[in-house]
Chain A
Amino acid sequence: NAGVMQNPRHLVRRRGQEARLRCSPMKGHSHVYWYRQLPEEGLKFMVYLQKENIIDESGMPKERFSAEFPKEGPSILRIQQVVRGDSAAYFCASSPFTAGRGGEAFFGQGTRLTVV
């Protein structure tokens, strides 16, 4: 059973381009969380999704950021018109249950986004 797979591991984008980050949860997991981490800082919640539904996107900027978790395929975090301040590590985590039911979150290796 493969772990949570994120790709790419490293992504370099010029200002104004689009960044597309992918996350394949562990088999059987229908809950996906995206977090952003700046160097030397904590994990900032962005969005929580279940299959085909966004449950909580309160941590995601209203503009330029979007997320989806389609019925088939990986979850995608999309950042349009990237700016230097978007440079960070983006982690995806999956869980078989909701956090409220005590679902342990399994993390991917993260995508390190650098905007130049």
Chain B
Amino acid sequence: GQQVMQIPQYQHVQEGEDFTTYCNSSTTLSNIQWYKQRPGGHPVFLIQLVKSGEVKKQKRLTFQFGEAKKNSSLHITATQTTDVGTYFCAGSPTGANNLFFGTGTRLTVIP
């Protein structure tokens, strides 16, 4: 069945350090979405990537969709305590209309 894995599962960084999470799908995706879930909260949409090799930036966040449309990454530059939370990628397999979430990366930022 469809699997979307993320690494690492957990990441602790000092405030100001960079952070990257990687997302890998077992199948080709028509698009990839990224969500953030704060502790005790619900997932909130961050961005969507559609094209092969696409790169998008949101302030300190950089999102990339792989050439084969099977992997993606989220990079945060100079983390802040407000970045704390779990980051999920979510993909829709090509030809399907469902949305499968990755296993998530939980980010802790140490002040």
User: Which residues on A are within 8 Å of B, measured CB to CB?
Assistant: 33, 35, 40-45, 48, 55-56, 58, 91, 93, 95, 98-102, 104-110
Contact = CB atoms under 8 A, between A and B. Distances in A.
Interface in B49-88: 50, 88
B103 A42 contact: yes
Contacts of B94: 100
B43 A107 contact: yes
Contacts of B30: 100, 102
A45 B100 contact: yes
Contacts of B43: 43, 91, 93, 105, 107
A48 B42 CA distance: 18
A78 B31 CA distance: 31
Contacts of A55: 97-98
B110 interface: no
Contacts of B103: 41-42
Contact of A108 (B35, B42, B92, B106): B42
A43 B97 CA distance: 17
Contacts of A102: 30-31, 48, 50, 92
Contact of B97 (A91, A100, A106): A100
A45 B95 contact: no
Contacts of B31: 99-100, 102
Contacts of B96: 56, 99-100
A56 B98 contact: yes
